[in-house]
Amino acid sequence: VPAVPPAPLGCDDPESLAIAEAAVNYINGHSHHGYKFALNRVEDIRVVPQGPNSDIIFIELDLLETKCPILSPTPLANCTVRSFVEHAVEGDCDVKLQKVDGTLSVLASKCHSHADSREDIRKVCPDCPLLAKMNNTEVLGAVSAALNDYNSKTTDSYLRLLEIGRAKIQYHPVHTVVAEFAVGATNCSAEEAKANVGACQLLPEDQSNFGFCTAVMVKHPSQDLQVDCQLYGHQVRAPHIPLLSRPGVTYAHPGQDTS
Partner 1 sequence: SVTKRAVAEAAQHDKVPRPVGFVPPPPPCPGKILHFDI
Residue 94 interacts with partner 1 (CB under 8 A): yes or no: no
DSSP of 215-256, one letter per residue?
EEEEEESS-EEEEEEEE------PPP---EE--S---SSTT-
Stretch that binds partner 1, among 81-89, 98-106, 193-201, 221-229 (CB under 8 A): 81-89
Torsion sign across C-alpha atoms 131, 132, 133, 135: negative
Residue 42 interacts with partner 1 (CB under 8 A): yes or no: yes
User: Whose CA is closest to 187, among 214, 160, 164?
Assistant: 160
Query: Measured from the CB of residue 106, what is the shortest distance to partner 1 in angstroms?
Result: 19
Residue 45 interacts with partner 1 (CB under 8 A): yes or no: yes
Residue 233 interacts with partner 1 (CB under 8 A): yes or no: no
Query: Measured from the CB of residue 116, what is the shortest distance to partner 1 in angstroms?
Result: 5
Residue 15 interacts with partner 1 (CB under 8 A): yes or no: no
Residue pair 186/160 in contact (Cβ under 8 Å)? The answer is yes
Residue pair 158/191 in contact (Cβ under 8 Å)? The answer is no
| Phi and psi at residue 248, to the nearest 5° | 95, -155
Sketch the per residue contact string, 116 through 145, with partner 1: x for CB under 8 A, - otherwise.
x---x-------------------------
Residues at the site binding partner 1, with contacts judged by CB under 8 A: 8-13, 16, 38-45, 62, 64, 81, 84, 88, 90, 116, 120
